[in-house]
Amino acid sequence: MKALFTPLLCLGLLASGPAWSQDGPQLNLPRTTLSAGMRLIHAQVADTPQSRTVGLMFRREMPDNEGMLFVFEQPATQCFWMKNTLLPLTAAFVADDGTIVNLADMQPQSLDSHCSAKPVRYVLEMHQGWFAKRGIKAGARLSGPPFGK
């Protein structure tokens, strides 16, 4: 009986797979609206360990003014990589008051680590070049519910 149980359990785990395999990338996360000056950002909120781990992996497209806001429990040096991420992205490492600490362009499928210059709780990923095209640099402030505005 034990010999049957182990293969059946493994088969069941393989069939169920990760959460995103049934419905594609995680598209049904909570959302919030942020602003960078006059620009609105429609951000999915990844605020659980599972949603932060998957992030924007396997996503083949994303609307121009959409991104993903990663929310951590407490400030720390946050580091991101692009394993299984197909879109080129820019990460904005954001302080509690909405100030962008630093920006990092990240290449698809790369294992290079991109880290915050100081401890932060928020990281906003947008299409690569989104911030640059709008003249948004480190020191600019985002506003919206996560930042108390």
86 backbone dihedrals φ, ψ, rounded to 5°: -95, -20
Q: Which domains does the chain have, with CATH numbers?
A: 24-147 (2.60.120.1140)
Task: Quote the CA–CA distance of 141 and 91 in Å, as a whole number.
Answer: 14
Quote the pTM value: 0.83
Per-residue pLDDT tens digits for 28-52: 899 999 999 999 999 999 999 999 9
Within 8 A by CB and 6+ apart from 109, the residues are: 82, 83, 84, 85, 86
Per-residue pLDDT tens digits for 83-133: 999 999 999 999 999 999 999 999 999 999 999 999 999 999 999 999 999
